């Protein structure tokens, strides 16, 4: 099969190696015998989302996020329609905040979001920083990652990570993180979360395939480096969680 990926603002929203989410997903589907074409969308550039298999936007600074938002709103209806149809999409880092109703910056200015979800994001003068170790309803096993954000997000009814044993979630430390609805995945987890979490990569890849009436094959190419990295990270963060419990 040939898949069409849309990468929104690859230079503007490019913090923390976010692009690697797209790279790893592309390579994974190609290893499964598919062809993947990635189209980049720059601010102001025309884009046709009809027939797109996957939409992606990575993390940006708070200022870059507002610049991206100003442009992205023209795509709002098309993205919402694609989400309704079940098109897979990932909004990573500050890009997640664009999906909600509003974003309030640290100075109190309120920006309209695209309203795909009911949540609101309020940015502040302090950053919430630290490792994340949590779980999701999508599969068993831990989700690992790192959080570095300045926004509290309230009103998420369907989080991606249902609870955290360590780290900051949408609203509070230890609370749910991210957003998941239909095949829309969003998380403020930093950087290449699909590289760090091979099973989340499976999940997103499967969502893309399902829209084409296919699914992940039982036999899949192993990635010993990503699997090895995940195993070490999950174990080390688990040990830190246990140590934190003991000291509390």
Binding site for another protein (CB under 8 A): 11-12, 14-20, 23-24, 27, 61-64, 67, 127, 129, 131-132, 144-146, 148, 150, 190-192, 195-196, 223-226, 228-229, 232-233, 236-237, 240
Residue (47 or 67) nearer to another protein, CB: 67
Residue (64 or 205) nearer to another protein, CB: 64
Residue (15 or 98) nearer to another protein, CB: 15
Q: Taking phi first (over 0 means left), then psi (-120 to 50 degrees means alpha), and beta for anything else, what does residue 91 get?
A: beta
DSSP class of residue 218?
S
Closest contact distance (angstroms) between CB of 149 and another protein is 9
Residue (129 or 172) nearer to another protein, CB: 129
Residue (62 or 206) nearer to another protein, CB: 62
Q: What is the C-alpha to C-alpha distance for residues 229 and 166, in angstroms, rounded to an integer? A: 19
Residue (62 or 171) nearer to another protein, CB: 62
CA quadruple 211, 217, 221, 224: dihedral, nearest 10: 90
Closest contact distance (angstroms) between CB of 145 and another protein is 6
Residue 208 near residue 201, CB atoms below 8 Å: no
Closest contact distance (angstroms) between CB of 192 and another protein is 6
Give the number of other CB atoms < 10 A from CB of residue 174. Answer: 14
Closest contact distance (angstroms) between CB of 196 and another protein is 6
Give the number of other CB atoms < 10 A from CB of residue 105. Answer: 18
Q: What is the C-alpha to C-alpha distance for residues 154 and 10, in angstroms, rounded to an integer? A: 27
Give residues with Cβ within 8 angstroms of 97, minimum separation 6: 65, 103, 113, 121, 151, 153, 188
Residue 59 near residue 95, CB atoms below 8 Å: yes
Closest contact distance (angstroms) between CB of 83 and another protein is 26
| SS3 of residue 104 by DSSP | strand
């Amino acid at each position: 099969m040939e898949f069409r990926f849309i990468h929104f603002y690859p230079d503007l929203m490019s913090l923390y190696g976010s692009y690697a989410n797209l790279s790893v997903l592309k390579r994974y589907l190609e290893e499964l015998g598919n062809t993947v074409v990635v189209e980049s969308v720059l601010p102001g550039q025309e884009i046709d989302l009809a027939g797109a298999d996957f939409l992606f936007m990575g993390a940006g600074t708070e200022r870059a996020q507002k610049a991206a938002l100003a442009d992205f709103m023209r795509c709002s209806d098309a993205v919402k329609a694609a989400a309704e149809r079940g098109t897979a999409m990932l909004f990573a880092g500050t890009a997640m905040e664009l999906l909600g109703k509003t974003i309030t910056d640290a100075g109190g200015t309120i920006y309209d979001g695209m309203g795909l979800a009911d949540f609101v994001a309020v940015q502040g003068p302090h950053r919430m920083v630290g490792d994340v170790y949590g779980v999701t309803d999508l599969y068993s096993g831990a989700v690992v990652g790192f959080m570095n954000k300045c926004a509290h997000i309230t009103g998420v009814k369907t989080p991606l990570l249902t609870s955290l044993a360590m780290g900051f979630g949408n609203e509070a430390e230890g609370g749910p993180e991210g957003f998941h609805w239909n095949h829309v995945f969003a998380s403020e987890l930093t950087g290449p979360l699909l590289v760090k979490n091979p099973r989340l990569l499976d999940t997103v890849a499967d969502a893309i395939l399902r829209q084409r009436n296919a699914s992940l094959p039982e036999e899949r190419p192993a990635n010993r480096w990503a699997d090895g990295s995940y195993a070490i990270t999950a174990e080390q963060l688990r040990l830190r969680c246990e140590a934190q419990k003991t000291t509390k």
